[in-house]
């Protein structure tokens, strides 16, 4: 059945309402229309003001509430040895931080977090109570530990990527390499010296976060980080460890205050620079300022008899003496300019080679008395004494060498055998290159890719060879350092046992034991200087304390560098009969 359609019916009571038949006066209608127009116009102008003219202000306000700029740390450059082995690198770690305003953690979670990070729960709770949007919980946290923190799922606690410096060699090269602070900025040694190269530039990442701090999306405007550059040194990590271990043993065995050692190739490259006591740069506590000192470059001392080869070289070069000169030293002491100069024993009448072999102060003083002070001073300054080393290292010392015009006659004499001036162990090792390179002094360098600098000739090849022949006598059984011998290699060098100045006089109970030498002596490949400060006991001479360090290091370093022996080596093999007897026993 089809129903007839009819229009929607309005009830009668509503059809008769007076509101449906109300007619406004014409004037009032225009007022209402005008007010409505003004209202919509105001809304339009407001929208134009907000979305057009002042949109930057409101955008910034929104960004302050929801957009965050996250710093992307740059990877600090590595420090490498001459063979590409890593001496310092950056390993990934995590930074734990919190937003106290969005933090939701019950006391049990706070205790667990403090336990994982090894923090005081009360101090951690106080940090969480601060009226801030950002507080550090702990920085440079290992990744495994950070995973445990993440597993707690604490609202308002976040993890950010970071880096921490790691030094594989530990204490062996600590003072040379230096260390970085919590901000990964160099604070000592080569880390500080090459900060501009190693640091790089951090980047930024802009993200939008919700009210709980969760990242929703990336926002345009971030910049990628620029990683730091690597720095490659001339250091050989194996020789560095050898020098450190031998020096450490010598200092400990002699109960000395400290020690330093420098190994250099004949071309001026620094292969090792060791100091003891030292510290572990991988740990940021438990060491003192004394432990962090690079004694080889920063500390200076009166060198004693290791200066004599330079005095004699200057005299030979200026033809003041010859290899056939004779010196009368009996009875072992002599008055010079009103001062008593003595040897350790009465050497009698000796030739020039024996001046070095026996380390005669009396004969050296006689040589100096024949020289002009300026000739002596010219030699000392030419090899670098009194001048800051040209290797890049913060705080390296220039030593002490007064202008020759201010010398008294006795000053020239005492400086001739190492008193009255001061040098560093590095300066000493570098200066001995003069005799290793046939009278030319090469520039010292710590950087593997440093531009070559031509060596400067200071003495003739003949004079350099004469000095080497005298240095070779020192390591013979009749010399002052037979313990500097290296099996299979001809060695040479000079000992020094200097009194230490205390107050207003030299203390004849405290010494500095030193040795500087080269090997193989006829065609030197390596030069090493060793200095041990204030060894205790009857064994305190340079030939007893410092020379064995030279022997131990050189024996292994020459093999590492593949230098063939220049002397016959007696095989250390027992006869067959002894082997059988030993086995039977």
Q: Which residues are catalytic?
A: 305
Distance between CA atoms of residues 231 and 229, nearest Å: 7
Distance between CA atoms of residues 446 and 429, nearest Å: 14
370 CB-side CA count, 13 A: 16
Distance between CA atoms of residues 230 and 208, nearest Å: 35
In degrees to the nearest 10, what's the CA dihedral of 313, 317, 323, 328?
-70
**Residue 318's closest CA among 263, 375, 250?**
375
> Helix, strand, or coil here: 359?
coil
583 CB-side CA count, 13 A: 7
* Site of tokens 């001496």: 87
467 CB-side CA count, 13 A: 31
Distance between CA atoms of residues 280 and 292, nearest Å: 10
| Radius of gyration of the chain, Cα coordinates, nearest whole angstrom | 39
Contact 506, 500 (CB under 8 A): yes
**Residue 519's closest CA among 495, 489, 474?**
489
CB within 8 Å of 96: residues ≥ 6 apart: 117, 136, 137, 138, 139, 141, 146, 149, 157, 158, 159
What would the two tokens of residue 211 be? 């009210």
Q: Cis peptide before 331, with omega less than 30 degrees from 0?
A: yes
What would the two tokens of residue 300 be? 């200076």
DSSP type of residue 182: T
Distance between CA atoms of residues 98 and 127, nearest Å: 9
Contact 141, 149 (CB under 8 A): yes
What would the two tokens of residue 104 be? 């939701």
Helix axes 409-416, 373-382, angle to 10 degrees: 40
Distance between CA atoms of residues 116 and 562, nearest Å: 50
Instruction: Enumerate helices (H) and strands (E) in the chain, giving the number of each.
Output: 22, 21
Cα of 37 vs its chain's centroid, Å? 77
Q: Are strands 231-232 and 79-80 parallel, antiparallel or unpaired?
A: parallel
């Amino acid at each position: 059945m089809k129903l007839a359609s009819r229009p929607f019916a309005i009830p009668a009571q509503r059809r008769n309402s007076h509101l449906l038949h109300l007619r406004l006066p014409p004037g009032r209608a225009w007022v209402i229309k005008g007010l409505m127009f003004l209202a919509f116009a105001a809304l339009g102008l407001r929208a134009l003001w907000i979305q057009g003219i002042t949109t930057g202000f409101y955008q910034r306000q929104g960004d302050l509430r929801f957009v965050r700029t996250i710093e992307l740390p740059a990877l600090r450059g590595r420090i490498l040895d001459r063979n590409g082995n890593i001496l310092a690198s950056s390993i990934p770690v995590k930074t734990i931080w919190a937003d106290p305003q969005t933090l939701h953690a019950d006391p049990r979670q706070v205790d667990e977090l403090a336990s994982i990070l090894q923090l005081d729960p009360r101090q951690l709770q106080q940090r969480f109570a601060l009226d801030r949007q950002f507080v550090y919980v702990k920085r440079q946290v290992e990744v495994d530990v950070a995973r445990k923190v993440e597993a707690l799922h604490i609202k308002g606690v976040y993890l950010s990527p970071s880096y921490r410096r790691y030094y594989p060699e530990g204490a062996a090269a600590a003072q040379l390499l230096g260390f970085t602070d919590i901000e990964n900025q160099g604070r000592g040694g080569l880390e500080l010296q090459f900060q501009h190269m190693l640091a790089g530039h951090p980047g930024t990442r802009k993200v939008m976060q919700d009210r709980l701090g969760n990242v929703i999306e990336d926002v345009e405007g971030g910049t990628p980080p620029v990683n730091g550059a690597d720095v490659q040194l001339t250091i050989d990590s194996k020789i560095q460890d050898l020098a450190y271990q031998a020096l450490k043993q010598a200092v400990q065995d002699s109960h000395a205050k400290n020690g330093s050692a420098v190994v250099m190739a004949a071309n001026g490259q620094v292969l090792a620079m060791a100091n003891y006591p030292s510290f572990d740069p991988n740990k940021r506590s438990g060491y003192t300022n004394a432990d962090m000192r690079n004694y080889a470059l920063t500390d200076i001392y009166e060198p004693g008899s290791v200066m004599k080869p330079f005095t004699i070289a200057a005299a030979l070069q200026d033809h003041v003496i010859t290899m056939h000169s004779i010196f009368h030293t009996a009875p072992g002491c002599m008055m010079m300019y009103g001062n008593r100069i003595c040897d350790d024993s009465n050497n009698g009448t000796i030739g020039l080679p024996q001046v070095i072999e026996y380390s005669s102060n009396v004969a050296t003083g006689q040589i100096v008395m024949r020289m002009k002070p300026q000739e002596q001073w010219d030699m000392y300054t030419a090899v670098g004494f009194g001048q800051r080393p040209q290797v890049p290292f913060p705080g390296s010392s220039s030593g002490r060498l007064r202008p020759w015009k201010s010398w008294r006659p006795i000053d020239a004499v005492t400086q001739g055998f190492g008193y009255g001036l001061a040098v560093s162990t590095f300066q000493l090792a570098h200066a001995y290159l003069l005799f290793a390179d046939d009278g030319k002094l090469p520039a010292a360098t710590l950087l593997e890719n440093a531009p070559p600098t031509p060596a400067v000739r200071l003495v003739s090849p003949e004079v350099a060879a004469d000095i080497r022949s005298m240095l070779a006598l020192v390591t013979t059984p009749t010399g002052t350092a037979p313990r500097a011998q290296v099996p299979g290699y001809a060695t040479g060098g000079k000992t020094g046992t200097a009194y230490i100045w205390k107050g207003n006089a030299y203390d004849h109970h405290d010494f500095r034991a030193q040795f500087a030498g080269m090997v193989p002596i006829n065609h030197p490949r390596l030069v090493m200087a060793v200095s041990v400060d204030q060894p205790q006991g009857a064994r305190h001479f340079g030939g007893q304390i410092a020379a064995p360090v030279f022997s131990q290091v050189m024996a292994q370093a020459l093999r590492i560098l593949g230098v063939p022996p220049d002397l016959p080596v007696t095989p250390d093999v027992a006869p067959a009969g002894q082997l059988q007897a030993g086995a039977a026993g």
